[in-house]
Structure 1
């Protein structure tokens, strides 16, 4: 096989490589320049920094955003905001105030620099590739370790070159580009791959257009996405008053890719993802006429000023359908200010739009929950079942053009057909040459001497990290849950206005675990509990187990309830890492057909785990089903260091033990949380 070379992705990796070989499937360690955390995952990261004994972050820039849990129906979210601010002041982290904006576009506006690496405890950190960065979404503990200056370990991916030609037609925009890739390749199409975009078609895509495409690389399963830092990036940074941060970065003219694809932008048409998967993509014209009750524009998937301004221009002088709630979630305060200066905010309000604060909001199920079964068109990245906050939802993913036109008609409408019927020309926008930069919404890090005196502010809803016991030599317990393919972390640990306010209270949040699949799971887990702790049990999963959000809660809360092993056909990358980080053994079927031989209630047994997981031991085990008197071959993909971590009960426990050894003068290997090579499934 000819390995790729001369690509921009290789250049970015080589510039930050501190360990390993740049060969697909091999483990590599990368030095991280910047980190990004958000409030839905950041409280755990800050507690992990405390547990690690960090004095001050050692990255070039670390930023904590408050963008997910903005609704303050009671005191819980406000308590978490206060805790996060105190942690930022203590550890030397920038603090983005509530309402300042969604982390990914806001970071792009204020901190993104071509050529830098960015690790984020949010799966859509890959959006930073729009600026020629290497943005990697990962679990919170990996981000915490990067903040201490340790390398981030990942599997070296293949580089998938996507050549763009032509120019987008009228009524088609960047969202349709990434939807086309999802139509072709599905939610697992870019597993263990970096999507690198190149070709003459780039000339017609702005930096924010590229953000739309790079952001939803996560939905394809990509490790990340990369665009060159070219004229479009220079123009964006100039608009933000940061042209001095520009650095031209492109692939070599003779770059060779492991895989290739090509999209003629001029041949695209408006596309839409049907409920309930981003990969279920069809042309809008094929589903036109479906009634809707909501259209929402915003989120990190369509975050640019253009995305809101085009919607405003479409509805200007018109009134949205009386049956439709037309919701606008500005993605940053800067964009809301610019939209207002342009007069577009007035056009939206006059047309019946509801203007919300800058943040994720409906994208994570924090408000704007739709009516059951009635179509909700959203410019969001995900439409997993129940993620909207409504259990029987019907969420479609589309471009701002399709959402705005459909808001006027009350049904899914191909914007080209509407424009032809109404005689409406495609709007020509004049965006401001300079953005309304407002750095006052960021609180900078305190000087070290002041930071050292800061105490963390803990409200009563912040429980702290649980203590997890080591993995026993024998695991014996029932299958408490069997689930199908593509189970998302939203289904394991739900988001939304009911559950997320407990994100810092693990015992309380655990009561929501798996309830979208089996409402009785928490109760049955509790019934297994003994005086010595939670009852040990297994979960059986299908393909792509744990796709979606990077939230660690989807590993921690089942672990809190006694989950000690998952046996699945394949895993999403980040969730697989999170399971191992918190002491849950992630196993895969040698023969995926064995999945059908398991039933809820079957009693399973794994023996001699301390020997089986010893360094250098073969990565295969025998799983005994004592109920059916059958044995199945299963395997793991744990490196030696992660085996030790898992045997200790998880990464925090392992690091604490190693720190104790270090204090006694022992030589230790503190890099015990590295990801492992192997054909893992995709990055959620």
Structure 2
């Protein structure tokens, strides 16, 4: 089905693959240099057209447009405003699809929407009202363009199937674009994803995605690289299929993606009334890639990804043949990610008469809520009614134009008469703010993620549910059978529908388009929950870190660092939201971090001369580190803060709150073996949190409430020292020397870290 090859691979005429080891025997590659062939990839061409650097090994990119949703745009705009924002220099699209359930948290969510609209008016932005579209469907329909680049504060910013490279990052990277600066990185490797063959009826885009994620996630095959989709298999896929596969590339941990374009892409832009955005994209006659993923589409089967990660995928066929064994394995692995030791995931109770039954089904969001998926579900259900037992099927069309088309073609009526519930465009089922199932239930969803608590359960309050990912087709087949897990390929007569789609942009007439028309006299409207960022100070000469959390899981997701769902209500209030930090993974973290933060706040008063003595607690801590130290002098040169240790943090969402909340609580550093994604590391740097890495053996040496003292950290960082000597102060009074690493710190990153945050950096630049 899927094969990987990590040697360089040459592609000739988008058809013929030649491994680097076989190059000498290939006549068609004669005389072609590596540099020329690498420049012939689609990714290289797009980067070149957006790059302001003269060094081809290091990119400084400017994007064509930016996008955020209502979980992130308040923080992004507040950060940009604090950094000197005057107007949006390029189109900035603000959508409202994550916190559009305004009953959650009272009026707080809609207060943010009003802030978004007034920001669009003041700074010249585009504002999409709540429930009009999920962020990525709107960007596909209205803003993607062949050869363009879009930066979004959402990890699933992926428009590669439309010939447009999307990158998802934290708000700090978007703020740089708003301030006319660049997105900087080493030129990434490019991996060819060669598609061949034709999918069998019943296999959908999510099946291809889950099969791919299973093969490449654990081995990091495409981590921080660009996936370039090529080969003859592309032409047999509809645009919704391509978009559905493409958006899930985020779960492989790749940086971005791009596909060859053809007549179907041209037709897509014509249907969406933007024919000028099409141009043919394909690799040059000979292109060189850093690796190869070959997918035989004809061999892809219907898949299911069990809790708590998309990589935990099986074919439905193999799952049904080994249900008990696979579920036992899943339950044991999942237990490590459940913060409440009194709870356990019980999936085997869903086996009845040898069959696996689910309780809820969802087709939603940027992956599931597209027209083709919904039409396939419609055809599978036919004239049949859903069971009246405890089971529900909820369908969220990804945009109002899709919903409008469903009203025109009768599919909306058909599905509601089947017993499905149709709802407005909303991302809630993907991040834990919609359709939370009952305790002990399992939901199957064509959405992007099934991380812990992405379904909205609250382990701290004794409520635990879970999500398995599937394609809309197999979800509909399962619904047809009363919740009994069924692959769509098991249905005898299903044929993939091919209904023509027409796009009506009338539902978007309420979108406010103020780009190029900023009104500096317009007033920003702040709800009571929208607050400014607290004071952040520059990095001191030395730092004293309190180990406030040690997480030994193989991977720590962004959702575990800062939960989505209920915590999102306070995303515009940094201090209130910070109380949720690690709440579902390590509930003791916040209290520990606040203790050292209180001492840091006292230290700042001493440093400013506003306090001429030190408390008993601060004096005791200083003497613990150095019995001969003068507490006042120590406080003037040493910053106090917390540190989180995690083996591989930051998988998943681009939400900067996973880091900014640590900063608000006084976080000064992370120590890791490696970072799960580039975007998480970028978030750390932009919030002035030192991104240390360490040998895995360090994990066994760290315990909560111990201290790490690093003398001369400011000087070491300024000089580019990569190996940092640190002293660990143990509970028993003994000490041990540690080696930490500050690798790949770029010049601007160094300045941001020295200044203590991106906000401080821009303030200081403006005042210099």
Q: State TM-score, norm by structure 2.
A: 0.82
Report the CA distance shift for 1:566/1:6 in structure 2 as closer, same or farther (over 3 A): same
1:659 paired with 2:766, answer yes
* Aligned counterpart, 1:538: 643
Cα contact 1:285–1:414 (8 A) shared by 2: no
Counterpart of 1:426 in structure 2 is 495
1:85 aligns with 2:188: no
Report how far residue 559 of structure 1 moved.
Answer: 1.2
- What SS is found at the alignment partner of 2:82? helix
Counterpart of 2:749 in structure 1 is 642
- Which one of 575, 582, 604 corresponds to residue 708 of structure 2? 604
Partners of 1:100 and 1:441 within 8 A in 2: no
Deviation at 1:532, TM superposition (A): 4.8
Does 2:382 align with 1:316?
Answer: yes
SS at 2:761's partner residue? Answer: helix
CA distance in 2, matches of 1:579, 1:533: 21
Q: Deviations over 1:479-510 (max 9, x none)?
A: 111112221111111110x2111000011111
Report what 1:453 is aligned to. Answer: 521
Give the drift of 1:303: 3.6
Are 2:198 and 1:170 equivalent residues in the alignment? no
Of residues 699, 718, 725, the one that matches 1:622 is 725
1:414 corresponds to: 486
Which residue pairs with 2:680 in the alignment? 575
Unpaired segments ≥5 residues, structure 1? 662-684
1:20 deviation in Å? 5.1
Using a 3 Å threshold, how does the CA distance of structure 1 residues 410 and 22 change in structure 2: closer, same or farther? farther
1:37 to 68, 82, 89: 68
Are residues 647 and 527 of structure 1, via their aligned partners in 2, closer, same or farther at CA, if it must alter by over 3 Å? same
In the TM superposition, what whole-angstrom CA distance separates every residue of 1:11-69 from its partner, at most 9, and x where no partner exists?
Answer: 1111111115344xxx311121111111101111111221232222212x221111110
1:511 equivalent among 554, 579, 587: 579
Q: Whole-Å Cα distance in 2 between the matches of residues 446 and 426 of structure 1?
A: 44
Which secondary structure does the structure 2 equivalent of 1:632 belong to? strand
Mapped to 2, the partners of 1:49 and 1:614 lie a distance apart of: 25
1:440 paired residue number: 509
Shift of 1:70: 0.7
Deviations 1:186-243 (A, max 9, x none): 2533112100000110111122221111111111010001112221211111111222
TM-superposed CA distance for 1:436, in Å, is 5.2
Given candidates 465, 481, 496, the residue that maps to 2:549 is 481
Unaligned ranges ≥5, structure 2: 1-7, 9-33, 321-354, 459-463, 603-639
* Larger of the two Rg values belongs to structure: 2
Task: Kindly tell me the number of residue pairs found equivalent between the two proteins.
Answer: 648
Secondary structure in structure 2 of the residue aligned to 1:78: helix
Q: Higher mean Cα deviation, 128-137 or 280-289?
A: 280-289
Contact 2:108 2:529 in 1 (8 A): yes
* Cα pair 2:235 2:262 within 8 Å, conserved: no
Secondary structure of the corresponding residue to residue 512 of structure 1:
coil
Aligned-partner Cα distance in 2 for 1:444–1:658: 31
**In the aligned structure 2, how far is the partner of 1:595 from the partner of 1:521?**
17
Residue of structure 2 in register with 1:215 after alignment: 247
CA contact 2:167–2:256 (8 Å) conserved in 1: yes
Deviation sequence 1:157-212 (CA, Å, 0-9, x none): 11100110111101001211121211211253311210000011011112222111
Q: Does 1:15 align with 2:49?
A: yes
CA distance in 2, matches of 1:438, 1:229: 28
Moved over 4 A (4+): 433-437
* 3-state SS, counterpart of residue 159 of structure 2: helix
Report the Cα distance in structure 1 between the residues aligned to 2:596 and 2:363, rounded to whole angstroms.
45
Distance in 1 (CA, whole Å) between partners of 2:136 and 2:186 is 23
- Secondary structure at the residue paired with 1:546? strand
**Secondary structure of the structure 1 residue equivalent to 2:595:** helix
Compute the displacement of 1:280 (Å).
1.0
Shift of 1:245: 2.2
Is 1:208–1:303's contact at 8 Å kept on the other side of the alignment? no
Q: 1:365 aligns with which of 422, 427, 432?
A: 432
CA positional deviation for 1:105: 1.3
CA contact (8 A) 2:66 2:174 kept: yes
How far is 1:339 from its partner?
1.4
User: What residue in structure 2 maps to residue 132 of structure 1?
Assistant: 163
Structure 2 residue 690 is matched with structure 1 residue 588? no
**One of 559, 564, 567 as aligned partner of 1:495:** 564
Deviation readout 1:236-272 (Å, 9 max, x if unpaired): 1111122232111211131121111211111111012
State whether residues 284 and 412 of structure 1, in contact with CA within 8 Å, keep that contact through their aligned partners in structure 2.
Answer: no
Structure 1: distance between partners of 2:163 and 2:698: 44
CA spacing shift, 1:94–1:494, aligned 2, 3 Å: same
2:361 aligned with 1:295, yes or no?
yes
Q: Give the alignment's TM-score, normalised by structure 1.
A: 0.92
Q: In 2, Cα distance between the equivalents of 1:79 and 1:136? A: 28
CA change 1:592–1:548 in 2 (3 A) is same
CA contact (8 A) 2:709 2:726 kept: yes
